[in-house]
Chain A
Amino acid sequence: MQPLVGQPFRLGALFGALSRDGAFYAFVAPFALLTCLFGLWPILLSFQVSFTASATALRADASYVGLANYVAILSDPEFRASLWRTLTYTAFAVILNVGFALAMALLIDSRFITRGRTFFKIAIFLPVVTPDIAGYVAWKWLYDRSFGAINAVLDLLGMPAFGGLASVSTVTTAILIAELWHHAGFYIVIFLANLAVRDRTLDEAAAIDGATTWQRILYITIPQLRPAILINCVYALIQFLKTFTVVVVMTKGGPADTTNFVSYYAYQLFDQARYGEATAMASVLFGIIAIFALSAYALGNGERGR
């Protein structure tokens, strides 16, 4: 079978490929159809709803209002604040998660850990497979200022109480930690997979040439981890721009809107049946995610091309 990817599009070639590889396309067609039906169609429908008046959004004869919903949300200072909050939170979360995961992966892969490597891998991946709601409820209890374990320990040590979820100054840190616990294991596994296939002879050669451990990590290992860094960054960007569950379970957007990110804000509008504005918010978020993800891939491809 000749792949069509990379060839200039010609109708004749398409028909030729279809007749030549009919069986392949026949097998693929149902899944392609399902992908379009359940993957693309809801996204397109969501875009469509964002151009309708909320009250009529679900009717067959929905009335279209052009860009009115987009104008409404962009002139809403609460939405603009929420968008900015989401972007800054995402930046912190991506750096923290990917940085932490990279450090942990290097540590697990290093010669410092001689025994129990599998145990550490399992332990670090376990939170990823834990249902997120259960995990965040446990974190909420840990942070509780009246009976939570964290403040109990701080109290025992004679240290000042941690504001946790109840304080504007600590709530973002609190949910960042909870999200780090839940997601980091996934990024670590990706890094470990990349580390397993790296060229170790380069590392040995650098060691013979007298490079220090830090120099080898910086100039030999990390450059080889570019594919994993790219994948993890893109995935983390998508993940944290959509931050939702942790907010629903732990903070409900508070205190004082400090954790009212775009996904949760849009959800609140859905709850009020303001479908037009809610889907407009979702579309804006989708656009931002798409731009970031495509830029990151373009950047990654550019790096490979050099």
Chain B
Amino acid sequence: MKLATILAGAGLAALIAAGPARSQELTIWHDLGDNGNKWFEQVGAEFAKTRPGVTIKPSSFPTDQWFGRVIAAINTGTSPDLIYNNYERVIRIQTQTNKVSDLKDVLGKISDKGFLQEDDLRVATYGGKMIILPVQRVQMALGVRKSWLEKVGETYPQTWDDVKRVAVKFTKDDPDGNGKADTFAMALQAAKPRDLIHMLDLFTFGSGLRSTLVDAKGDVIIDQPAHAQVLEEFLKTYTVYGFVSPDTINHSFTDMYQVIEGGRAGMFRVGDWNVKKWDSQAIKGDFVVGPWPQFAADRQNAVVIGGMRGVAIPENAPNRPLAIEFAQFLLSKPAQQASLELVGAAVRKDLDTSNLSERQKFFAEAKGKLVAYDFPESIHTWYPELEAAFHRKLMAALASPPKDFKAFIAETAAEMRELKAKLASKP
């Protein structure tokens, strides 16, 4: 009887093992649009080779809708299995839900991860938790229209003085040759505080500095000579230099892209995610990419790492163990190769770049010096409030430019120190 039971049990186990694989669907919510959907589907097909029956269902939302939907879903127990976005956006999800899983152990179990740098892991960590598994670096550099440079007899600007010289020519010498004075030297944005700070970060970290508003200890640094120089030039670029469209103060991402893609600006920010589109459409490859120009002879300029993009797993994800497996798989070579080709970014350095354009290679092969954002909000709880006050001061200066920028910076620094002391003393 015992033997019969054992045999029956073994038979049943064999039947289960040999039977068709149970189909399982993993949902992932992101904001990468069609290219992101293609990437996740391609990686999903690769993943299914080792996990038959598993399908990946990606859904892309506009970024502002992505926030609301993810937060609502996590808070109402209808969460997707994985969420994907920029690190700082996942921080906001964590602060609103407190239900983003700590992925430290998940990363610990991955053997092939030497390509992840200390900075990558630092920015992926918030409040002691690794809130995303970093799968793409967000790199940003300066793009300049090739045909405009040729028209005005210039080469790629290496220093900030070069930029200013080229900027005057781009504004006055009809670089697009249409006979009208309708071109601008640069395309920037400032409509919302975050828009403005992204631009300032680009100037600051691109110039090789390591902090925008406060240093690692939390001290306000904007009036230190090197920082003050960058901040002053930044404010003048928006105002007295006349390098940007006069409506830039109201320009958001969309407006800035209209100026760039509409052929009205000669110098602009290029993110690694822009290159694929701009190689084939809009600018059609008529641009050169390089590090942000050098501000001081003794400080090396850089390509800016604006953060890490990666996957996070809500604690109440319906298929959590499988979601963890898929997140780990996103760091594998085939998944990273697909990421590079379809989304324009990755973290591995052993990928095939032979089919990429020169501009894509610039980012993929990390040719320039890389300087990452400082992310003080992950250390100082008072930072967001201080930064918001700083934004307001800068926006006011753009709206009504001060007569003396140096005095404005000194006065702003004093105000920020006072506010920081007040905020830091709050229990």
Give the interface of A toward B (CB within 8 A): 54-60, 144-147, 164-168, 250-258, 270-273
Contacts and interface: CB of A to CB of B under 8 A. Distances in A.
Given A166-B247, A255-B395, A271-B64, A146 B184 contact: yes
B8 to A, nearest CB: 45
**Main secondary structure on chain A at its contact with chain B?**
loop
B75 A258 contact: no
Contact of A256 (B64, B96, B245, B398): B398
Interface string B231-260: 000000000000001111110100000000
B81 to A, nearest CB: 20
A168 B399 contact: yes
A130 B72 CA distance: 34
Contact of B76 (A59, A168, A258, A270): A59
A166 B242 CA distance: 13
B358 interface: no
Given A168-B399, A254-B395, A255-B249, A58 B76 contact: yes
A56 B71 CA distance: 10
Interface residues of B, number: 31
Interface centre among B68, B245, B249, B250 (most CB of A within 10 A): B250
A273 B68 contact: yes
A145 B67 contact: no
A144 B400 contact: no
Given A58-B72, A58-B75, A59-B75, A145 B247 contact: yes
A272 B67 contact: yes
A259 to B, nearest CB: 10
Contacts of A258: 399
30 contacts: A54-B96, A56-B75, A58-B71, A58-B72, A60-B76, A144-B247, A145-B246, A146-B182, A164-B247, A165-B247, A166-B247, A166-B248, A167-B399, A251-B250, A252-B191, A252-B192, A253-B192, A254-B190, A254-B249, A254-B395, A255-B395, A255-B398, A256-B398, A257-B395, A258-B399, A272-B67, A272-B92, A273-B68, A273-B71, A273-B92
A301 B67 CA distance: 47
A145 B250 CA distance: 11
B67 A256 contact: no
Given A146-B245, A166-B249, A271 B67 contact: yes
Contacts of A145: 245-247
B381 interface: no
Interface in B342-374: none
Given A55-B98, A271-B64, A272-B92, A146 B247 contact: yes
Nearest to B195: A252
Contact of A254 (B92, B250, B400): B250
Contact of B250 (A56, A146, A250): A250
Contacts of B328: none
Contacts, number: 79
Nearest to A56: B75
A134 to B, nearest CB: 16
A252 B252 contact: yes
A228 to B, nearest CB: 36
B250 A257 contact: no
9 closest A-B pairs by CB: A256-B399, A145-B246, A252-B191, A273-B71, A255-B399, A255-B249, A168-B399, A273-B96, A58-B75
B250 A252 contact: yes
A117 B192 CA distance: 45
Nearest to B395: A256
A253 B395 CA distance: 12
Nearest to B96: A273
Nearest to B400: A168
B407 interface: no
Nearest to B183: A146
A256 B396 contact: yes
Interface string B60-81: 0000100110011001110000
A257 B96 contact: no
Nearest to B399: A256
A55 B396 CA distance: 32
B319 interface: no
B392 interface: yes
B78 to A, nearest CB: 10
Nearest to A57: B75
B27 interface: no
B143 to A, nearest CB: 20
A54 B245 CA distance: 39
A250 B297 CA distance: 42
Contacts of A59: 75-77
B300 interface: no
Contacts of A273: 67-68, 71, 92, 96
Contacts of A271: 64, 67-68
B35 interface: no
B16 to A, nearest CB: 37
A8 to B, nearest CB: 46
Contacts of A168: 399-400
B97 interface: yes
